[in-house]
Amino acid sequence: MSNETSQSSSQRSADIVVSAPGKVILFGEHSVVYGRLALAASLGLRTRVAISSINHPNTLEIECPNLTSKLTFNLETLNKYLLSPTLPTYLAPAEFSWESPDVVHHETLLDRVTEFLTDVSISNTSNLKPSEIVTVKSMMYLIAGILGSVNVELKPAAIVVSTDLEIGAGTGSSASFLVSISAALVQYIKLNKSSGNISKTGYRECNWNDSDPKRFSTRELDIICNWAFCAEKIVHGTPSGLDNSICTYGSIVEFRKGLQPKLLGIECPFKILLINTKVARETKALVAQVAQRLERFPDLVKNILNAMEDVAYIGLQNIMNVSRSHGDSKATRDHYDTLATLCSMNHHLLSALGVSHPTLDDIVNTLTRHGLHGKLTGAGGGGYAIALLPPLEEIGRGLEEAMNELASKGFGVQMTDLGGEGVRIDSDS
Ligand SMILES: Nc1ncnc2c1ncn2[C@@H]1O[C@H](COP(=O)(O)OP(=O)(O)OP(=O)(O)O)[C@@H](O)[C@H]1O
Ligand SMILES: C[C@@](O)(CCO)CC(=O)[O-]
């Protein structure tokens, strides 16, 4: 499988390096899946994907932080089973180009990838844990989907993923990973074919004029975001599209399922505490659990979802008002108080949906005892909680005491800023 003569990833200089941020959801996790408003922000913690050409003929190597060992695939076989066959699409291939991933027949492409991994590359993947299989499947899905209809040959390469994020803890590790993989593949196409029609014969013409090798255009960001959304279905089941949007575009985003995400273009004046319960959980299972609760108590759960919409809406107004108050400290403090109260309310509504956890409730109660407010973030069930911190000049002893108490209980505690750059090209080739 892996070869002894090849360089290790740390020795090699990469041809392509891209990175995408993680995210925190301020208001609206779960309710966003049912069309309610959500507000999320990017984090300074990022996932990086490097693609390097390697001397080992006919080989694709994959390294990811959650894979116990490097995986090696035969490129000829990958070409035969995943890249050469016509992509399954709802429209005729002549009407499809890689710019419209929503036209791809998701389940059929996923079946093709699963078959490739289980029947063809069995020696590679037979011992993988379920979460590792999800990683490899979603990555192969993106390779097949993005490279399948374009006239760019995948040459022997190593794809190496690294991340600052805790995987599977509510800070968007999966979206950050999938956005980075999509972006690395888009950059691969750009560097190998910078202008003209990039579609293979038989697909809709797709012209690319003088693409900038140093940055992603809006058109490219949309392609990255849409492909990452398709692959998120493999990880999340029924994603709302919030996570892949925030990890692509960065900043603070107002989001409603089915609509274009709205970048608020403001800086959040408040820092947050990220508090890690260190309890493992899986977004897909938690989303399915909420769906069951909705089915069992439809009217009751709809009322909770509507209350969450109100929380997110008032939260949005207050965040916007802080940025309009131009440093007026009294106004900023008032908006902070409202946002902090909304955080607690959102946590208790999420708890009523059944997605909290004793450790998350313990964190929220500890924060409250020290005059702070917090909530779970992401899918819940463990993972991270956040606390919105008061304006810096008003942070008192309560914060230090809360941080000490949370740390003494074994939770991970970290202060961070919100907002910031979305997916970007980090290499200068
Ligand atoms: N850096 C990474 N490398 C490889 N696979 C990853 C990486 N990050 C996430 N994954 C895949 O995503 C899965 C975790 O997704 P999940 O949605 O449960 O967590 P999350 O994205 O951190 O949480 P949330 O969706 O609540 O923000 C992992 O089990 C793994 O399969
Ligand atoms: C729980 C959820 O709302 C957020 C997960 O980060 C799921 C989603 O929006 O797809």
- State the DSSP string of 352-409: HTT---HHHHHHHHHHHHTT-EEEE-TT-SSSEEEEEPPPGGG--HHHHHHHHHHHHT
**Ligand 2 atom closest to the CA of 287, numbered from 1:** 1
pLDDT tens profile 366-376: 999 999 999 99
Task: Ligand 2, residue 172: give the atom nearest the CA.
Answer: 6
Distance of CA 383 to the CA centre of its chain: 15
In the reported structure, the alpha carbon of residue 379 is separated from the centroid of ligand 2 by a whole-number distance in angstroms of 6
Of 134, 157, 142, 163, the closest CA to residue 49 belongs to: 163
Find residue 53's DSSP bridge partners: 157
E strands in 28-85? 38-53, 59-63, 71-74
pLDDT of res. 4: 37
Query: Does the beta carbon of 241 sit less than 6 angstroms from any atom of ligand 1?
Result: no
Cβ–ligand 1 distance for 382 under 6 Å, the answer no
Is 227 part of any domain? yes
Judge if 236 and 292 occupy the same domain: no
Is there a single domain that holds both residue 62 and residue 100? Answer: yes
In this structure, the answer to whether residues 85 and 157 fall within a common structural domain is yes
Torsion on CA atoms 73, 110, 65, 55, rounded to nearest 10:
20
Q: Report the number of distinct structural domains present in the chain.
A: 2
Query: What is residue 63's predicted lDDT score, i.e. its pLDDT?
Result: 97
Asked whether residue 94 falls in the same domain as residue 217, the answer is: yes
Instruction: Count CB neighbours of 333 within 10 A.
Output: 15
Q: What is the pLDDT of residue 279?
A: 97
Tokens of 346: 């959102």
CA of 27, nearest ligand number: 2
The two three-digit tokens of residue 247, written as one number: 């990890």
Tell me the residue type at 196: G
Q: With a cut of 70, which residues of the chain have pLDDT below it?
A: 1-12, 122-124, 428-429
Of 19, 42, 149, 174, catalytic: 174
Give, using CA atoms, the residue closest to atom 9 of ligand 2.
240
288 plus 173 within the same structural domain: no
**Distance (Å) from CA 86 to ligand 2 centroid:** 32
Q: Ligand 1 centroid to 168 CA: how many Å?
A: 4
**Residues 272 and 226 grouped into a single domain:** no
Q: How far apart are CA 381 and CA 379, in angstroms?
A: 7
Residues 240 and 311 in one domain: no
**pLDDT for the residue 11:** 62
Looking at the domain assignment, is residue 9 inside a domain?
no
User: 413: which 2 tokens?
Assistant: 């505690």
Helix, strand, coil tally for the chain in percent (to 5) = 45, 20, 35
pLDDT digits (tens, 9 = 90+) for 1-56: 333 345 666 666 779 999 999 999 999 999 999 999 999 999 999 999 999 999 99
Question: Can you give the residue range of the structural domain that contains 152?
Answer: 16-253+421-425
**C-beta 131 within 6 A of ligand 1:** yes
Using a 6 Å CB cutoff, which residues line ligand 2?
A: 25, 29-30, 32-33, 172, 236, 239-240, 242-243, 283, 287, 378-379
Please indicate, yes or no, whether residues 289 and 382 belong to a single structural domain of this protein: yes
172 shares its domain with 275 = no
Q: Is the CB of 198 under 6 A from ligand 1?
A: no
Question: Residues 18, 24, 28, 34: what is their CA dihedral angle, to the nearest 10 degrees?
Answer: 30
- This model of the complex carries an ipTM of 0.97
Q: Kindly give the interhelix angle for 173-192 and 130-147, rounded to the nearest 10 degrees.
A: 30
Residue 10 lies in a domain: no
15, 42, 121, 243: the catalytic one is 243
Which residues, other chains included, contact 155 with Cβ-Cβ below 8 Å and sequence gap of 6+?
53, 75
**Annotation says 174 is catalytic:** yes
Ligand 1 geometric centre to CA of 161 (Å): 12
**pLDDT the model gives residue 5:** 43
